[in-house]
Structure 1
Amino acid sequence: MAETTAKATLDDIVFANRNKAYGAYTLRKDYPRTVARALLIGAVIFTLATLSPTIINALSSDNADEQAMVEVDLMKLPPPPIDPNEPPPPPPPPVELPKVNTVKFLPPEVKPDEEVPEETPPPAVEELKEAVAAEKTQEGDPNAEEVIVAPEETAGPTKVEVAVEAPAPKEDEVFTVVEQQPEFTGGMAALSSYLSKNLRYPAAAQRANVSGRVFVSFVVNTDGSIQDVQVLKGLGFGTDEEATRVVKAMPKWKPGKQSGRPVRVKYNLPINFQLE
């Protein structure tokens, strides 16, 4: 009985005379093995997490080595640089064309009687079947092909440039894009100065704290006068009417030109209303 008591564990003592099948006894009995297993799994996971960067770098270096091995087409490589100290290569030898059989036959030429040489009979038709008429008689390669060069006098007519004058623009036509755009007298700086001096901020827009741009469209006539003033995009509160008034009161512009002639041009102008 004493030996049996010595072998009894703390769990047996705690659960003496109690219901061991309830579950608590089994949990306390298996606790050491569960803790050991959890420590082992945690150690393995920690080791893998610590060594994962090394493993990833090793795998990526292997892939980089595999990707570095790329086939190179030697035919597409650029030529080696030319050394300026090396002499240039010699030119290729001239190609000698095979000679053809020729028979001396000069074209007739008008000369005084004293300078007329002895009459040379023209070549026979049989001779011209196997030879070509030329300035002298020579033997050539029978396999050579005859090359006939057309004289310069028989060359075709050359191209002649014909200047086509652009049609004159109509007087009532309104252009949107021209070679020379209309311009306010004095340039954009003078236009900005004119707007800053003559533009009045409407009281309704000031009370409503309205600011922004009003886009106005108008036509600059051939004499520089302003016509057909329209508001493309407005802000309201009196700003549209003020922008229209200022544009209509502008002095004459420099008219736009097309083909060197003044034409009517439609012009878009943004007018800025900004509270200070």
Structure 2
Amino acid sequence: MKNLLRENGQSLDEIVFQNRNKNYGAYALRREEGSMLGKAMFFGISIFVVLGITPLIIAGMDTTVANTPEGSGPLWVPVPEVVVPEKVIPAAAKPVETSVQTYNTSVVVPKREAVESPAAEIDRTQAVPGLQDTPGNPPVTQYSPPAVVPGNSVVPAQTAPPVADPNAIPVRVDVMADFQGGIQAFRKKVIQNFNGDAYVGSGEKISAVVTFVVEKDGTISAVKASGKDPEFNREAEKAVVSAKGKWKPAVLDGQKVRSHFRIPITMQFE
């Protein structure tokens, strides 16, 4: 049948795809199936050959481990023993023996037919009470005469002790200054006198530290506020100055003295 078709000049593919679209793809696949099958068979056989030969090649490789010559291993170096020197304890200094002369202060009981021996004369201003003299060298008293400067000597004038400044502010006091009624009462007066109309509705929280001097008579002076907002500082100073009331001054050595005082002020505006 195939020979018959060849003789007619038409193959089976030509007959099947007669009057059809040969550009669709199936016609080209049928025409190239022979070469595609040949290539696939060639690659398949090549893969099987490689898989079969690989173990033989690995087995034939030289896997002999080289012999390691002796003496090529790690070298151990002996560490010399460290000898810790013994701590030498210094010998205690031997006190120098000083010759001390003594005189006998015991009461002598009279004995029958006792032989009176003359007592040795001892300078009691240079001896201490005792029964036996202590051997050694007598103490040496060193005397250095005052140096005399020739010429007219000038005697320095006697200076009077410095008089303490009554207006000085000491760093340390025995009793700190306090507001009559307590510091909380003073804070309440400051808050009542503070004018915060410029900050109403801002929602800010502003702080400042006010320092001042409490005088001996209970008044305050040198009021100074330090903070980030200058306007808030001025209002804080006005509030502290306008707070009515007396202060108990600080006390040092029983005397009223001037003293520094500081109070922090923080306000939260709604």
TM-score clears 0.5: no
TM-score category of the 2 structures, normalised to the smaller one: 0.3 to 0.5
State the TM-score, normalized to the length of structure 2. 0.43
State the TM-score, normalized to the length of structure 1. 0.42
Larger radius of gyration: 2
Q: Select the structure that is richer in helix.
A: 1
